[in-house]
Amino acid sequence: MPVEPDNGAASRAAAARILDAVLHQGRSLKAEFASQLLQLADPRDRALVEAAVLAVLREHGRYADALNGWMTRPPGKRDGLLRVLLYIGFAQLDVMKLPAHAAVAATVDAARRLKYAHQAGLVNAILRRALREPLPARRADAAWPRWLAERVRKDWPQQAEAIFAASAMPPPMWLRINRQKTSRHAYAEKLQMAGIEHRLLDGLADAVHLPEPVPVDALPGFAGGEVSVQDGSAQRLVDALPLQAEARVLDACAAPGGKAAHLAERYPAARLLALDVDARRVRRMQETFARTGLAVETRAADATATASWWDGELFAAIIIDAPCSATGVVRRQPDILLHRREDDIPRLVALQAQLLDALWPLLAPGGVLLYATCSILSAENAGQIAVFLARTTDARLLPLDARFGRDTGYGHQRLPGEDDMDGFFYARLEKVQP
């Protein structure tokens, strides 16, 4: 049977391929988006695919419960494409609130495109049942592996349910103004002219908050480097690091380059070195710096192997935005919960400690090391800093204020959704003068 070419079936089929790769084959969501979205010419189709995929990743536990309750033999892993296509149908009706007739018709036609023509009637029947009967109730921690949910509850017993709820919500879009090219108020006027809803928040000097995300190519001045996308919690990091004009600064785990770019925009005379162990990510950083018109030295190197890249000159400031569990950014990257394993945590904690110990000797006396993660786990954050201070006699913790979140005693923690930002941890350490 021929498929109607313009009813949205192609976008539903693309979403199913992405979800099958991520849910059933352990593939990276970011990589699958990059591959599949290129095949869709219309930005509206790309936006629909992204919205559908993210909705399913946040709700797939509920949708699996629905299929298990409504079908004697739900599609298994062998028919993963059919299973995720049904999830996509649920998401359109449940989360995205698309017109029911169009959503069902496009999803049924997508089944035919995916070579499930014999199951098109089944897809139609299941989705029409979803119109008549309620899907299972939402449980905030449903997408979290049990071991990780228990860890969050142990670390944050009073806040755990709010963390799970915030992590299941679609995030806003945060922009960072390049103050070397424009001002925040001037850029806000451009957004106003473009009809893009936005607001300016006190206390974040370079930030603009967009309640509803838009494609970057719809942002005025994006191609010319006037603005970049960066969450407010990551922008806050630069506020913790006041610098002298020509200070030498190391960003040790710099990719994708947002924090290094922000530093260079705020301190254009600073001598900034941005390292990352992955050469491909370094190339993407270089593209970011070229777009924003910033002169930042970059190098592909293992930050812990200092003998291979350090020239012997001490740094006035060092940033370690350390590899971590990324449990503070689940709302942006819900596939984190699919890929994270329990034995990842001790491995990450060991790597973070290795970075701290390797880079501390490179900091000048009186200099500041800023340790940060996008994690909410104590072992990676307050626990990591407590142990480092205990073994490092010339390190002392410097205070931060309430803008950085709640004081843990060993740094400040922002939890997901607080002030509509991502979860983030900050600890500012000074090397005591001899």
> So which residues are the catalytic ones?
374
Burial of 317 from C-beta contacts in 10 A (0-12 / 13-18 / 19+): buried
Residues whose CB is less than 8 angstroms from the CB of residue 302 and which lie 6 or more positions away in sequence, other chains included? 277, 308
The distance from CA 278 to its chain's CA centroid, rounded to whole angstroms, is 18
- CB-CB neighbours of 8 under 10 Å: 21
Residue 44 is encoded by which pair of tokens? 């509206």
Strand partners, 64: none
Alpha helices in 71-113 (DSSP H): 80-94, 100-113
> Which residue from 420, 254, 262 is spatially nearest to 332, judged by alpha carbons?
420
* Rounded (10°) angle between helices 29-37 and 43-70: 130
Residue 294 is encoded by which pair of tokens? 């910033």
What separation in angstroms does the CA of 50 have from each of 19, 33, 89? Answer: 10, 8, 14
Place of tokens 């607080």: 418
Contact 405, 415 (CB under 8 A): yes
Q: Which helix (H) or strand (E) element contains residue 175?
A: strand 173-177
Q: Tell how strand 207-210 and strand 227-229 pair up.
A: unpaired
Residues whose CB is less than 8 angstroms from the CB of residue 217 and which lie 6 or more positions away in sequence, other chains included? 43, 223
The secondary structure of 288-307 as a DSSP string is: HHHHHT---EEEE--TT-GG
- CB-CB neighbours of 229 under 10 Å: 14
